[in-house]
Amino acid sequence: MKSVDQILSEITVSNFDYGEALDNLLREAKKDQDSLVSQLSKIDRLQEDVLHIIELDNLNASKIMQQASNLKKIRNKRRDIKKRIEEYDSIKNHLNNIKKDATNATDKFKRTKIRLGQSRYVLREFTSYKAQNEEEIISRHEVKA
């Protein structure tokens, strides 16, 4: 027959910090987003250069077609970057919501743990009963494995 202490010693609870993991994920997503914003800025400057070449230079039809082709490539790349930034914004919002929920759940768990550690059952009907030896009561109710 196993005692409660023996059974409890076999039960493990993970100490994985979900909040820290979410913070790390958000930090990495922020780095990627910063890089994308920088790339978007570069693409915008490149696009302005091409538009100014078309506007200010005296180009023949062949050169205009070449710059139009460049502009199309730039616009497609810009669209890809903007889509990716939107994805990161969406992920960031979801992760922040999860982090808030996890923080609230962790706080509630900690409060519950403290409350449970302080709680004692108070007899309501057998108010005159006094336990003589708490260990004796526990040993009579050992869990059988």
The answer as to whether 54 is a domain residue is: yes
Q: What is the pLDDT of residues 3-57, one digit of tens each?
A: 888 888 888 877 777 778 878 888 888 899 899 999 999 999 999 999 999 999 9
Token pair belonging to 131: 């336990």
The answer as to whether 8 is a domain residue is: no
145 DSSP 8-state letter:
-
The answer as to whether 102 is a domain residue is: yes
- Tally of helices (H runs) and strands (E runs) in the chain: 4, 0
What is the residue range of 31's domain? 16-119
How many Cβ atoms sit within 10 Å of the Cβ of residue 25? 15
The answer as to whether 138 is a domain residue is: no
The answer as to whether 5 is a domain residue is: no
Residue with tokens 């139009």: 68
The answer as to whether 4 is a domain residue is: no
For the chain, what is the domain count? 1
The answer as to whether 131 is a domain residue is: no
Q: Are 78 and 51 in contact (CB under 8 A)?
A: no
Q: Are 4 and 49 in contact (CB under 8 A)?
A: no
Q: What is the pLDDT of residues 62-108, one digit of tens each?
A: 999 999 999 999 999 999 999 999 988 888 888 878 878 877 777 78
Dihedral angle of Cα 137, 138, 144, 145, to the nearest 10 degrees: 180
Q: Are 43 and 77 in contact (CB under 8 A)?
A: yes
